[in-house]
A and B are shown apart, each in its own frame.
Chain A
Amino acid sequence: MSEAKNQTKTIKVNYLARVEGEGGLFIKAQNGKVKDVQLRIFEPPRFFEGLLVDRAFTEAPDITARICGICPVAYQMSACQAMENACGITVDGPLRDLRRLLYCGEWIKSHVLHIYMLHAPDFLGYEGVVQMAKDFPQEVERGLRLKKVGNDLMSLVGGRDIHPINVCLGGFYKTPTFRELLEFADKLKQAHEDAIKTLEWLSTFRYPQLERGYLFVSLCHPHEYPIDRGKVISSAGLNIDVSQFENFFFEKHLPHSTALHATHIDADKKERDYLVGPMARFNLNFNCLTPTAKYYAEQLGLTPPCTNPFKSIAIRAIEVLYAIEEALRLIDSYHAPFSSKMPITPKANNGYGCTEAPRGILYHRYEIDEQGIIKVAKIVPPTSQNQKIIEEDLRHFVERYFSQGQAVLQHHCEQAIRNYDPCISCATHFLKLHIDEE
């Protein structure tokens, strides 16, 4: 161990692979202590909040969808909710069920993409899914099949799997027929088996040890696992309406990243980093999972509090199983609505929206005028909220495993970043800032 003294290690990854968007990693550690950790997000900024100004309120779902090709539904749903909130309407009944059904499609697609194609290769020692397919053909085919069900569900309800076209303020342009949904239910039943096999497969993985005391933040609804609505809660007792979000969460602009760092200001005015995404949802809403999802979670030894970030891959698989069962429930209870959308007229007002993107809460606020022209837009995506937590995980991880070889350490650091399925394009569209550092 004495050699570890006076030892300096620098881990530098110029381009992170198997994440969405462009980022790198820089860690400097000396004598087992981490001096500097930077998740370097250099994705070019795209200025969405600026681009939205002077656009019509009806355009926000289509425009913000383009922030991300992987979670466009999340943007459409948060934007719709915010605009509807500004105009004083709430979409309920079958139209709301259809929105949740569409969102289930996105959860399935995005989570399965992450589990099989981006993250599993880390656990099994492959560079990517194509290389992994040579040794795990059945598993990869299963993953592709499962992902396709998510994509197909998005196409059925949303018209297209990437940047769906069927979503509008007040509901949809066109609603699917009950017959179309019933036919789809058969595909979901097949997917249900694949989801369970996915969980069995993940139970054979070896998870690196790292337990951390996180502050979890997610939406919470009295009797639903949170997807499309709810209050914002935390594991420290926060419980606020979405409209209060900006009183408790702030963003900073740091020089090493084109994405902002979000922090939570708690009741004692203390700044804290916090975690959003599957682990937060799971730990804060375990009771709202379906009995089957709970059963498999328990079989895998996953019960709240689960604080090992490497187990997020298994929690995603639990959420895939949940989303399939929820989609089946929504189809089973579906009654075609009288109209595909509720009427909406603009009102000069502020509107707030927050939904659970696959990788965590996504907050939107808009100020619109009486013609429905957007005057101010603010968007807080999940990855800018998790950025600080990712850096803290790396700090703990490197200090714990400092004596390991550079290559092993680097591999695990990259894997630790992928625990969050970071969506870097999302994180860099740019936001208004409050505080500056350095």
Chain B
Amino acid sequence: MPRHKKPKLAVWKFTSCDGCQLSILDCEEELLAIASRLEIAYFLEASKRTMRGPYDISIVEGSVSTPEEIKRIQDIRSNSRIIVTVGACAASGGIQALKNFRDKNDFLSLVYATPSYICTLDTALPISRYVPVNFALQGCPINKGQLLNLICALLEGRTPNIPTYSVCVECKLKGNICILVSKNAPCLGPVTQAGCGAICPTYNRACYGCFGPKETPNATALASELKTCGFSNADIARVFRTFNPTREEFYQIGRQYERSKKSD
């Protein structure tokens, strides 16, 4: 075991908007410190310099939506000691996973003149559907503070301290008045994982669940509450089907209310 060698970090992009890997470059005050502790071996958005694996840490952004991406993630897995995924796309397919709910062929001809030029899978799925993942940071986009926490934890060999409780906890700590109760707004805070600092309720708007489900969410209860507040089945289906539509808890509610939207 070479003691003084810096761990090799690779950053990989799959189907995504690049926002989560941009969060690394957005660590303005910490970027050079991170670079001094790690060997940035592969990070195309930042550098032409590429080093061959194996890599100690692979940070993976995006979902798997093409046959080529299946092969690539398998190669990355076999070349990486630790894989951490960043963002809603990698953890739950992301916004493009909305295509999973429609017929692929209808979709292709809707948007492409020559569908035969396009090679795409029927689905956009999380990285963990294809390979084992060591840790996942949720969020669309991820939170920079959580990213730094994660990188430090990996460097020190400890478990990252990432909360799994709901946005409501952060919201209460901020002293906000509950937006679901006081404004009758369709807030997903009770079922969404903390990490953003409850920014939406702090800015007077309902949480739209971009951090994905918290550990053990009761989405069924929240959906019934939204129904009582007067939201239609179609509204409820849409709220759960946005940036994390394939995560089990959100998926089930989305499907249930989508099916019953004719009774609106």
Asked if A and B are interacting partners, one says yes
Chain A residues packing against B (C-beta within 8 Å): 15-22, 43-51, 55-56, 59, 62-63, 66-70, 72, 113, 117, 121, 127-131, 133, 140-141, 144-145, 147-148, 151, 159-163, 165-166, 168, 172-174, 253-255, 258, 340, 414, 425, 430-436
Chain B residues packing against A (C-beta within 8 Å): 13-23, 25-26, 28-29, 31-32, 35, 40, 43-49, 65-66, 69, 94-96, 98-99, 102, 107, 110-114, 117-118, 120, 124, 140-141, 196, 199-200, 202-205, 208, 210, 235, 238, 242-243
State whether A51 and B98 are in contact (beta carbons under 8 Å apart), knowing that A162-B19, A255-B117 are contacts in the complex.
yes
Is the pair A66, B111 in contact by a Cβ cutoff of 8 Å? no
A20 touches which one: B14, B18, B28 (CB < 8 A)? B18
Is the pair B118, A258 in contact by a Cβ cutoff of 8 Å? yes
Q: Which residue of B lies closest to A431 (CB)?
A: B111
Q: Which residue of A lies closest to B32 (CB)?
A: A133
B48 touches which one: A48, A127, A174, A258 (CB < 8 A)? A127
Which A residues are in CB contact (< 8 Å) with B23?
162
Write 27 A-B pairs (CB below 8 A) sorted by A numbering: A17-B44, A18-B46, A21-B13, A44-B14, A46-B15, A49-B110, A50-B111, A55-B238, A67-B17, A68-B18, A69-B16, A69-B18, A70-B18, A70-B19, A130-B35, A148-B29, A159-B199, A162-B19, A166-B203, A173-B200, A173-B204, A253-B112, A254-B117, A425-B18, A430-B112, A434-B113, A436-B113
Q: Which residue of A lies closest to B205 (CB)?
A: A173
Q: Which residue of B lies closest to A253 (CB)?
A: B113
In the complex, what distance in Å separates the CA atom of A72 from the CA atom of B43? Answer: 22
7 smallest beta-carbon distances between A and B, as pairs: A69-B19, A128-B47, A433-B113, A127-B49, A17-B48, A144-B28, A173-B205
Is the pair A127, B22 in contact by a Cβ cutoff of 8 Å? no
B25 touches which one: A50, A55, A117, A168 (CB < 8 A)? A117
CB distance from B50 to the nearest CB of A (A): 8
CB distance from B43 to the nearest CB of A (A): 8
In the complex, what distance in Å separates the CA atom of A50 from the CA atom of B99? Answer: 8
Which A residues are in CB contact (< 8 Å) with B113?
253, 433-436
8 more A-B contacts (CB under 8 A) besides A72-B19, A113-B22? Answer: A44-B69, A46-B65, A47-B110, A68-B18, A70-B18, A117-B25, A162-B23, A173-B203
Which A residues are in CB contact (< 8 Å) with B22?
69-70, 113, 162
State whether A15 and B26 are in contact (beta carbons under 8 Å apart), knowing that A55-B238, A66-B140, A253-B113 are contacts in the complex.
no
State whether A51 and B45 are in contact (beta carbons under 8 Å apart), knowing that A62-B208, A253-B112 are contacts in the complex.
no
In the complex, what distance in Å separates the CA atom of A16 from the CA atom of B35? Answer: 22
Which A residues are in CB contact (< 8 Å) with B242?
59, 62-63
In the complex, what distance in Å separates the CA atom of A105 from the CA atom of B28? Answer: 15
Is the pair A127, B65 in contact by a Cβ cutoff of 8 Å? no
Is the pair B48, A430 in contact by a Cβ cutoff of 8 Å? no
Is the pair A165, B205 in contact by a Cβ cutoff of 8 Å? yes
In the complex, what distance in Å separates the CA atom of A174 from the CA atom of B31? Answer: 31
Q: Which residue of B lies closest to A252 (CB)?
A: B113
In the complex, what distance in Å separates the CA atom of A67 from the CA atom of B49? Answer: 27
CB distance from A205 to the nearest CB of B (A): 18
Which B residues are in CB contact (< 8 Å) with A44?
14-15, 65-66, 69, 120
CB distance from B167 to the nearest CB of A (A): 12
In the complex, what distance in Å separates the CA atom of A133 from the CA atom of B34? Answer: 13
CB distance from B65 to the nearest CB of A (A): 5
In the complex, what distance in Å separates the CA atom of A159 from the CA atom of B203? Answer: 7
Which B residues are in CB contact (< 8 Å) with A19?
45
State whether A430 and B47 are in contact (beta carbons under 8 Å apart), knowing that A133-B35, A163-B140 are contacts in the complex.
no
Among A17, A128, A162, residue most surrounded by chain B Cβ atoms (within 10 Å): A162
In the complex, what distance in Å separates the CA atom of A187 from the CA atom of B147? Answer: 25
In the complex, what distance in Å separates the CA atom of A375 from the CA atom of B22? Answer: 32
Is the pair B141, A46 in contact by a Cβ cutoff of 8 Å? no
Which B residues are in CB contact (< 8 Å) with A172?
203
CB distance from A140 to the nearest CB of B (A): 7
Which A residues are in CB contact (< 8 Å) with B111?
45, 47, 49-50, 430-432
In the complex, what distance in Å separates the CA atom of A215 from the CA atom of B22? Answer: 32
CB distance from A146 to the nearest CB of B (A): 9
Among B15, B32, B112, residue most surrounded by chain A Cβ atoms (within 10 Å): B112
B19 touches which one: A18, A163, A173, A255 (CB < 8 A)? A163
In the complex, what distance in Å separates the CA atom of A55 from the CA atom of B26? Answer: 31
Is the pair A56, B238 in contact by a Cβ cutoff of 8 Å? yes
Which B residues are in CB contact (< 8 Å) with A47?
96, 99, 107, 110-111
State whether A165 and B200 are in contact (beta carbons under 8 Å apart), knowing that A67-B17, A430-B111 are contacts in the complex.
yes
Which B residues are in CB contact (< 8 Å) with A46?
15, 65, 95-96, 124
Is the pair A161, B114 in contact by a Cβ cutoff of 8 Å? no
CB distance from B227 to the nearest CB of A (A): 17
In the complex, what distance in Å separates the CA atom of A434 from the CA atom of B66? Answer: 25
Q: Which residue of B lies closest to A132 (CB)?
A: B47
Q: Which residue of A lies closest to B106 (CB)?
A: A50
Is the pair A145, B17 in contact by a Cβ cutoff of 8 Å? no
Which A residues are in CB contact (< 8 Å) with B141?
69, 160, 162-163
Among A21, A47, A67, A163, residue most surrounded by chain B Cβ atoms (within 10 Å): A47
CB distance from B250 to the nearest CB of A (A): 16
In the complex, what distance in Å separates the CA atom of A162 from the CA atom of B21? Answer: 11
CB distance from B51 to the nearest CB of A (A): 11
Q: Which residue of B lies closest to A428 (CB)?
A: B15
